[in-house]
Amino acid sequence: MKKSELETMRKSFDTVKSRSNSIKDSESTKRLTKRVQEIKKYSFENKDELFNQVIDSFKRNGIEVEFAKTSQDALDIIDGLIDEYDAEVIAKAKSNTLGEINLKNHLKIDVVETDLGDRILQLKKTDNKPVHPTGPASHLNIEDITGIVNESLDVNVNPDAQEIMRAVRADVLKRLENARVGISGANAIASEEGSLVMVHNEGNISIVSLKDLHIIVAGIDKIVPTLEDAISIVKLETIFATGSYVTSYMNVISGPSKTADIEKKLIKNMYGAERVVVILLDNGRSEAIEECLYCIGCGNCIVHCPVYNAVGNEFGFNNYLGGRGVAMSKFIEDDETCFNSGLYMCTLCGLCTLNCPLSIPTNEILENMRKLSTDVGFYPRAHGKIKDNVSKNDSPY
């Protein structure tokens, strides 16, 4: 990342920190935090039962459900669905899971980001990795964004947030006029009800969910027992990610769009999707350390991480940023990816753990991973030289 981008990112992080401080310390947030910790622990300990239950619940609700062991499995399922609809353009919502499976690079059709920050990064074309799970373009200042939008959309907007938003919105809506397929992730899944919860401020997930086919790709770690539990999780995520109590929109999807208003005959596709297909993704999660799966995706760890603040999104893996992203890369990919994602960049300071609402001990996880990584030959060359010197000369030098 460029120096100016890092500076803009740090300023954006400071804004989130000051906005969220009072809410984070309130008694109600403390109670919510405790509740979510219990929900995540219970969900991990009962993951097999919840997984089986949610499949039954989805089927009962008329939601189609698929299981993807790997990214490739998920992409194959998506390819098949897109072929069925002969789609040339699809509407996409912001999702770390879709980033994880590399959806955009895989699909050879027009995948239109509907989230403003993600769309700006998409228009940027190069160096367009997000810097925060809910504020993907927090590193770009308004002049940068104006240049990107004017050049890629062939418009002439001023460096004014309203003007930029209108130009991007008009272009996105025009491109999606004839789209029949929408794709998104989910913030949490309620097993008992078979409901998927998605939060957003822009209203864009509503656009995605109104297409004929709505594909939802979500990690198996998103499954929790009930809708109340799922709402608790997204509420805590919102507080820690944005400093607000609640987002403008919270979509709860529990089935396709349907009506029985004409002679009580059930028909689908009134306004929303005629088909909702959920792809439950494992992709290393069943091998992952329990605490890694507690993550609710608020991004508060990277906001406080000194390494992330210094180097930005090169510390992390794919859309999974910072130390926790490095840890997950070992399970999603392998030891080599984990090493290359910044396993040895971490200072082990523990600020991520202190600022994580789930107290994920990322520093301890990374410290243990370093030992395992060394055993399989991935360690900094300088460390290897010191080790050789000690064994040859009884001295590190």
Report if residue 341 touches ligand SF4, rule: CB under 6 A: no
Which residue from 352, 360, 325 is spatially nearest to 341, judged by alpha carbons?
Answer: 325
Q: Which of 223, 352, 365, 369 binds ligand SF4 (CB under 6 A)?
A: 352
Q: What letter does residue 214 receive in the DSSP assignment? A: E
Q: Closer to ligand SF4 at the Cβ: 217 or 307?
A: 307
Q: What letter does residue 334 receive in the DSSP assignment? A: -
Q: Which of 347, 383, 384, 390 binds ligand SF4 (CB under 6 A)?
A: 347
> Of all helices (H) and strands (E), which one includes residue 217?
strand 213-219
The region of 11-19, 33-41, 228-236, 340-348 touching ligand SF4 under the rule CB under 6 A is 340-348
Binding positions for ligand SF4, 59-98, rule CB under 6 A:
none
Report if residue 357 touches ligand SF4, rule: CB under 6 A: no
Q: Which of 109, 170, 267, 348 binds ligand SF4 (CB under 6 A)?
A: 348
Minimum distance between the CB of residue 235 and ligand SF4, rounded to whole angstroms?
24
Q: 162-169 contacts: CB < 8 A, separation 24 or more? A: 165/116, 168/116, 168/119, 168/120, 168/123, 169/116
β-pairing, 265-268 vs 89-92, is: unpaired
Which residue from 199, 165, 173, 155 is spatially nearest to 89, judged by alpha carbons?
Answer: 173
Unique residue bearing structure tokens 């990064």: 121
Q: Which residue is nearest to ligand SF4 (CB)?
A: 323
Minimum distance between the CB of residue 181 and ligand SF4, rounded to whole angstroms?
37
Report if residue 210 touches ligand SF4, rule: CB under 6 A: no
Distance CA 285, CA 29 (A): 28
Q: Which of 40, 363, 365, 370 binds ligand SF4 (CB under 6 A)?
A: 363
Report if residue 292 touches ligand SF4, rule: CB under 6 A: no
The region of 88-96, 200-208, 290-298, 341-349 touching ligand SF4 under the rule CB under 6 A is 341-349
94: tokens are: 């912001």
The residues near 1 (Cβ < 8 Å, ≥ 6 apart) are 9, 127, 131, 139, 311, 312, 313, 314
Binding mask 296-335 for ligand SF4 (x = CB under 6 A): ---------xxx--------------xx------------
Contact positions toward ligand SF4, by CB under 6 A? 305-307, 322-323, 346-352, 362-363
